[in-house]
Amino acid sequence: MKPSPGAKAPPASPSVTTAGFRRAMSAGAWAARLADVPVVPLRRQVAETASSPLPDDMPMTLWAEDGFHLRVRDGRVLLLLPTPGAADAYDMSVDPGWLDAVTRIAAARVPALAGVPVARAWAGLYEMSPDKHAILGAAPGRAGLYLANGSSGHGVMHAPALGQLLAEIIVDGAARALDVTPLAPGRFAEGRPNPAGGLL
């Protein structure tokens, strides 16, 4: 990101220069390939039924003991069951054994789903940080590099806030809307992690 011609100069800040480029890196599960950031991939798989026998307005429903959960979307049901991930952490294929397990569990817990075929399944990668919280701010020791990484599987929900906060950090030199100290990139090296509890 470079100041646009005629843009008002940002307030003086140790992390902001008006001459140099400033770059934001948000490479998700691949972030550690681009910078020294403690983010690792974690595969998450989804199965989608061909139709739905459930009410359209059924809320997302979660079984706390193993994290199995379902969502009714557009006349289909999304089935999700967390696992510890694949042997190759970047593997985004769907494990046939997982597919068997998630459909069996769905039928056992929601009998209306028994016999409803799965139309398709896919997998993606969560971008896990050590404490399962985002890593946001200036990269330690890398002038001009800013990080928005490690949302740990809740990045869609947090993206608007993280985007605004990182823009404030880049332009103003500090986040204004919220105190983002608990998300500081240096917190792991400084022994100040901010551990989260459960994860879907």
Ligand X SMILES: Cc1cc2nc3c(=O)[nH]c(=O)nc-3n(C[C@H](O)[C@H](O)[C@H](O)COP(=O)(O)OP(=O)(O)OC[C@H]3O[C@@H](n4cnc5c(N)ncnc54)[C@H](O)[C@@H]3O)c2cc1C
Q: Give residues in contact with ligand X (CB under 6 A).
A: 26-30, 34, 44, 46, 124-127, 151, 153-157
Q: Are 134 and 149 in contact (CB under 8 A)?
A: yes
| Cβ proximity to ligand X, 54 vs 80, nearer residue | 80
Kindly state the smallest distance separating residue 41's Cβ from ligand X, in Å: 9
Kindly state the smallest distance separating residue 35's Cβ from ligand X, in Å: 10
| Cβ proximity to ligand X, 141 vs 160, nearer residue | 160
C-alpha 200/C-alpha 181 separation (Å) is 25
Kindly state the smallest distance separating residue 127's Cβ from ligand X, in Å: 5
| Cβ proximity to ligand X, 10 vs 101, nearer residue | 101
| Cβ proximity to ligand X, 10 vs 85, nearer residue | 85
Kindly state the smallest distance separating residue 125's Cβ from ligand X, in Å: 6
Phi-psi region of 14 (alpha: psi -120 to 50; beta: other; left: phi over 0): alpha
C-alpha 50/C-alpha 113 separation (Å) is 11
Q: Report the C-alpha dihedral over residues 105, 108, 109, 114, rounded to 10 degrees.
A: 100
